[in-house]
Structure 1
Amino acid sequence: MRKIKWLLSIITICILTFTLMSCGKQSSIETVRVGEVTRSIFYAPQYVAISKGFFEKEGLNVELKTTWGGDKTMTSLLSDGIDVALVGSETSIYVAAQGSDDPIINFAQLTQTDGTFLVAREKVDNFSWDQLKGKTFLGQRKGGMPQMVGEYVLKEHNIDPKNDLTLIQNIDFANVSSAFASGTGDYVQLFEPTASIFEKEGKGYIVASFGEESGKVPYTTFMSKNSFLKENPETAEKFTRAIYNAQQWVDTHSAKEVAEAIAPYFDDTSIDTIETVVERYKTQDSFATNPVLDKEEWENLQRIMDEAGELPKRIDHKTLVNTKIATDVMEQ
């Protein structure tokens, strides 16, 4: 009887120990709420970081939701609906210009070029930008990076967006592609995979890349409130390390391998189309190979904003960009 009680005591201790260990293991997993401005193959490294377990390796559970638009994404971040936003860096400048006590800090760059393409309704042989003159151009939302880059590129090709063509900018971001498909506009500025899908379906034809035309710019960046980064430095470092590892993975693997890794995030897109889009973005160096947002890119961003008449005031790189997290991760 005494031996049975002794065995039961040992078993009870083992069960309690296992339970405590399991609880401890569960508590070590930290949840980070991320809001992405849209769902796009353009953000391939982010999905790779999830699918390949780079976040999990860092002890992070990323809750990803699509917030559909820069204004909605920033509102969600400011109201603490998310911890991290993946959105254009221009939004942090808009917030800072309004005098925020808790500025939005860019800490990890994901893409380094514009991700949109110029799509023509009719097939065009020997395309030149001056063919847009006198035509109707269906652009993106005023004040957003796609629209500002679009106008910047037009001006670089001696096209006045206000006078040389009919510019439509009053259609919501999510409805631009359907508006073009229904007959609005001669040309449209589209993200992938929509541009490639339209081409395959004969609804439009890709004739130029805004990313190739505009140069390096911090088009999409992970950002958080300054208070969040100060209160959670280890979390920010782990998050950035996972992104960096994913960026390196994307850079060193084929478009087909990347497409297979991110396919679960694009159920309505064929694997062939995903591969085509990834290859296109890789070819024009759209995916940043490290998370550092450097000063030159920041200045190019503000130059584009200024040219579009959307720069509220010029803000120094070090004021809204934290490069220490990214550089520390890369040096480890």
Structure 2
Amino acid sequence: MDRLHVTATSHWPNYLPEYVARELGYYEAEGLEFSRSAPDDWTQVLTDLETGTADVVLGGLWVPAMYHGRGREYRAFAQLNTRNPKALVTREKVADFDWKDLEGKIVLAPGAGGTAPYVHTAGLMRKAGVDLSTVRWVRDLSGSMLTELFLGGMGDALVTDLVNAAFLEHRQQAFVAIRHDRAGGLMPNSVYYTTDAVLAREDQLVQRFYRALEKSYDWLKAHEAAELTELLAREWPSLDTDVLVGVVDDLRSSGIWEDLRIGEEGYAEWMRILAEDGLLDAPVAYDELVTVVS
């Protein structure tokens, strides 16, 4: 058995294929001793990779893109989320929501775990013709803190993940106005990336990991979340499992786990948004950041 450790920016149900592969023995079948960690400070994942504590990072593609040509070179080889599992919620139900409804409003967008919640939302708003100069943002704080502040009366809308959004609706505390996975189309939201040295290993560590995840994807396409009740309860004991089962089936149907390969269409759109927002000088070519494995 060869050890493979993933260091991730979070531990959350949108990463479910990774846990399913472990649960069903797909890593073991590839001769891998799999483990994972999710440090409180997400930037620790880079240190984990550089020191060899971890072999692979699970996080945003914007990190390899921003570092490209700026001191660190990482290669992405798989996308765990084909779409961005985020939503914009409001306190009251909104019929026929339009992004322009946010003009003159205050939007809360978490950023303690990364920049994508704000950047992708702002990119979709610009594409819809919103005058962003009229929108006020509360950013760079944790999702839990901004959710608490939103429920306490701050702002007009909150960017959150689809799991939290579903539980807010379940408790009648907030309501989904628009979903990024549907409104935003394809987008490699969470990807696996590593160094050239790990990719070049003779034991094909990454390739075997990829094959295990492919089996997990295939299983999730063919099975309903109810079959994972025990796994979901064990991994997220603080969440109502019955509600979570429904959320997972919704994520399955949304296409979030449709394709493990990083698609060029979603990649190009995300690079465009990142460059438009100033995180990149220009979009990075697909072949410069992505390695296709099988």
TM-score by length of structure 1 reads 0.81
User: How much identity, in percent, do the aligned residues show?
Assistant: 23
Aligned match for 1:307, one of 246, 268, 276: 276
Contact in 1 for aligned 2:8/2:42 (Cα 8 Å): no
Equivalent in the alignment of 1:51: 23
Equivalent in the alignment of 2:75: 105
**Is 1:242 paired with 2:212?**
yes
Query: Alignment partner of 2:97: what SS?
Result: coil
Deviations 1:191-211 (A, max 9, x none): 132111111222211121011
Partners of 1:138 and 1:61 in 2: CA distance: 40
Shift of 1:187: 0.6
Aligned match for 1:120, one of 84, 87, 90: 90
Please tell me the residue identity of whatever aligns with 1:254.
E
Partners of 2:252 and 2:170 in 1: CA distance: 20
Contact in 2 for aligned 1:58/1:242 (Cα 8 Å): yes
Shift of 1:225: 1.2
Partners of 2:251 and 2:136 in 1: CA distance: 29
Cα RMSD (Å) = 2.1
Equivalent in the alignment of 1:287: 257
Q: Cα distance 1:179–1:71, how it changes in 2: closer, same or farther (>3 A)?
A: farther
Shift of 1:174: 5.1
Partners of 1:50 and 1:76 in 2: CA distance: 21
Shift of 1:81: 3.0
Equivalent pairs counted in the alignment come to: 293
Shift of 1:321: 0.9
Shift of 1:98: 0.9
Ranges in structure 1 where 5+ consecutive residues have no aligned partner? 1-28, 327-332
Partners of 1:127 and 1:212 in 2: CA distance: 13
Shift of 1:259: 4.8
Contact in 2 for aligned 1:152/1:214 (Cα 8 Å): no
Contact in 1 for aligned 2:198/2:205 (Cα 8 Å): no
Aligned match for 2:196, one of 203, 226, 235: 226
Ranges in structure 2 where 5+ consecutive residues have no aligned partner? none
Equivalent in the alignment of 2:142: 172
Contact in 2 for aligned 1:35/1:66 (Cα 8 Å): yes
Partners of 2:162 and 2:188 in 1: CA distance: 18
Alignment of 1:82-97 (within 5 A): 82-97=54-69
Contact in 2 for aligned 1:74/1:91 (Cα 8 Å): no
**Is 1:63 paired with 2:32?**
no
Contact in 2 for aligned 1:137/1:186 (Cα 8 Å): yes
Q: Which structure has greater helix proportion? A: 1
Alignment of 1:255-274 (within 5 A): 255-274=225-244
Partners of 1:30 and 1:174 in 2: CA distance: 37
Equivalent in the alignment of 1:22: none
Shift of 1:307: 2.2
Q: Cα distance 1:64–1:134, how it changes in 2: closer, same or farther (>3 A)?
A: same
**Is 1:38 paired with 2:10?**
yes
Please tell me the residue identity of whatever aligns with 1:130.
K
Please tell me the residue identity of whatever aligns with 2:17.
P
Contact in 1 for aligned 2:8/2:59 (Cα 8 Å): yes
Query: Alignment partner of 1:282: what SS?
Result: helix
Shift of 1:246: 0.3
Equivalent in the alignment of 1:182: 152
